[in-house]
């Protein structure tokens, strides 16, 4: 279950599995990269969207509903690590973050003084 304020959600990422999105409350947008172009699909309550394996995808709340709720289901018994899109990693590095071997965004270690 995911709750996020308007305009917020998850940045472009991919899994070694499919991912299904189902809005319970509010309107949500799923976006993905096709070639070099970003595509979007707006989902209303009860709509469903499946993103195939290997596709960079993200989602965001596009409603004014303060109770916006999205179900995201990652297929299979092991979703594996998150693979962030290179643009997400580049933006994270500008803020002092990095990515560990498991795909987690972490604070970059400060050099020893």
Question: Could you write out the DSSP letters of every residue in 22-73?
Answer: EEEES-EEEEEEETTEEEEEEE-TT--EEE-TT--EEEEE-S--TT-EEEEE
Average pLDDT over residues 86-90: 83
User: What is the CB neighbour count within 10 angstroms for residue 43?
Assistant: 19
Average pLDDT over residues 61-82: 86
Q: For residue range 23-41, what is the model confidence (pLDDT) as tens digits? A: 999 999 999 998 889 999 9
pTM equals: 0.79
Supply the pLDDT for residue 89: 81
Quick check: 104 pLDDT over 80?
no
């Amino acid at each position: 279950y995911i709750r996020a304020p308007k305009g917020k959600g998850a940045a472009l990422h991919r899994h070694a599995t499919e991912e299904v999105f189902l809005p319970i409350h509010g309107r949500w947008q799923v976006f993905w990269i096709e070639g070099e172009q970003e595509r979007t699909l707006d989902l209303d309550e009860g709509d469903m969207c499946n993103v195939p394996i290997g596709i960079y995808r993200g989602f965001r709340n596009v409603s004014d509903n303060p109770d916006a709720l999205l179900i995201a289901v990652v297929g299979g018994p092991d979703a594996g690590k998150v693979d962030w899109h290179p643009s997400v990693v580049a933006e994270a590095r500008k803020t002092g973050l990095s990515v560990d071997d498991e795909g987690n965004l972490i604070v970059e270690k400060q050099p020893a003084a």
